[in-house]
């Protein structure tokens, strides 16, 4: 059976716009069989996604996208199959969320100085979470006429040369991988073509990632061109890394990359999910599954 597998997306527990249950429902509608929810520095949406996935007959892979600073550059490391209850992971993510709150306040101050008052408070209120991302600010700027589109909001305000740019000082590459592995997960470098690194630096980063225990890179993803895919398929083989695939879906308003799209891996890649035993996993909707109570329940019966 050919499964549709999407291992990177966001809910409104980070900078996606849909609640986790709607992300799962949309994935199902798009024909996705296996979905990883990978919110920025948060596993808070996993429980809801897991419940929805059981009802929809989707296999939900608990995930997270950890923010990393490597050589003054932001790198994103996706964790797949993490235990969302793992204490060290939760402590590590809480620290990153605290950094997000601090940075968001600093962005708010810079916006204030540049003539955009009240953005921090309004952005946090609209987000419904405290640890907001720049995407949340971008939406505020867009809605209030300070930018034409999200891209413009990053260019003029939030991006590296923007008036309200504040650098994030995130986890180290080693700490991020350790956090993911400690929670039983597999670490994956997200959208490797997006980083502004020379090819040499990029290879150094990937080697360091592998030495720290990272196992895969995203070869197919929403922000990779066909050329990027071919290039990173070769790099994955060279470095003996597994390949992952994910849409990086954020919102139905941005239909550039919908759930379940942009997922084709070049044939030479070794998919990260090959060792997951998915073919033997029951993908039938819950009504068709034989529900076996867990051992502790059986013991009490």
Restricted to residues 27-66, the positions that interact with ligand AMP (CB under 6 A) are 40
Separation of alpha carbons 6 and 26, rounded Å: 12
Which of 162, 271 has the CB closer to ligand AMP?
162
Three-class secondary structure of residue 272 per DSSP: helix
Which one of residues 151, 169, 226, 279 is an interface residue with ligand AMP (CB under 6 A)?
A: 151
Stretch that binds ligand AMP, among 148-156, 236-244, 262-270, 279-287 (CB under 6 A): 148-156
In this structure, the chain runs to a length of: 301
Does the protein bind ligand AMP through residue 140 (CB under 6 A)?
no
Does the protein bind Mn ion through residue 76 (CB under 5 A)?
yes
67's enclosing H/E stretch is strand 59-70
Which one of residues 39, 41, 218, 248 is an interface residue with Mn ion (CB under 5 A)?
A: 248
For the packed helices 119-127 and 134-143, what is the interaxial angle rounded to 10 degrees?
110
Which one of residues 67, 123, 244, 262 is an interface residue with ligand AMP (CB under 6 A)?
A: 67
Contacts 24+ apart (CB under 8 A), 115-121: 116/141, 116/144, 116/146, 116/157, 116/164
Structure letter (DSSP) for residue 215: -
Task: State the pairing for strand pair 59-70/186-189.
Answer: unpaired
What is the nearest approach in angstroms of ligand AMP to the Cβ of residue 211? 25
Which of 130, 279 has the CB closer to Mn ion?
130
In the complex, the residues that contact Mn ion under the rule CB under 5 A are 15, 65, 76, 190, 248
In the complex, the residues that contact ligand AMP under the rule CB under 6 A are 15, 40, 67, 133-135, 150-151, 154, 168, 250
């Amino acid at each position: 059976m050919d499964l549709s597998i999407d291992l990177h997306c966001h809910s409104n527990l980070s900078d996606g716009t849909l609640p986790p249950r709607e992300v799962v429902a949309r994935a199902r509608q798009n024909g996705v069989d296996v979905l990883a929810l990978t919110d920025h520095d948060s596993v808070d949406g996993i429980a809801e996604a897991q419940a929805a996935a059981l009802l929809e007959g989707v296999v939900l892979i608990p995930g997270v996208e950890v923010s990393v600073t490597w050589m003054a550059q932001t790198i994103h490391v996706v964790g797949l199959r993490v235990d969302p209850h793992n204490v060290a992971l939760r402590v590590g993510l809480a620290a990153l969320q605290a950094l997000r709150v601090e940075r968001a306040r600093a962005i708010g101050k810079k916006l204030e100085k540049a003539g955009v008052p009240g953005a921090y408070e309004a952005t946090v209120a609209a987000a419904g979470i405290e640890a907001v991302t720049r995407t949340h600010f971008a939406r505020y700027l867009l809605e209030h006429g300070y930018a034409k589109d999200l891209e413009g909001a990053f260019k003029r305000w939030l991006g590296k040369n923007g008036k309200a740019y504040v650098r994030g000082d995130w986890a180290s590459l080693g700490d991020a991988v350790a956090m993911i592995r400690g929670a039983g997960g597999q670490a994956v470098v997200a959208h490797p073509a997006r980083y502004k690194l020379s090819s040499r630096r990029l290879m150094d980063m990937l080697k360091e990632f592998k030495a720290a225990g990272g196992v895969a890179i995203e070869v197919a993803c929403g922000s990779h061109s066909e050329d990027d895919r071919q290039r990173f398929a070769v790099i994955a083989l060279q470095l003996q890394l597994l390949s992952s695939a994910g849409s990086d879906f954020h919102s139905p308003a941005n239909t550039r990359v919908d759930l379940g799209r942009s997922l084709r891996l070049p044939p030479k890649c070794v998919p990260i999910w090959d060792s997951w035993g998915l073919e033997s996993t029951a993908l039938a909707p819950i009504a068709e599954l034989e529900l076996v109570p867990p051992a502790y329940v059986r013991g009490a019966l």
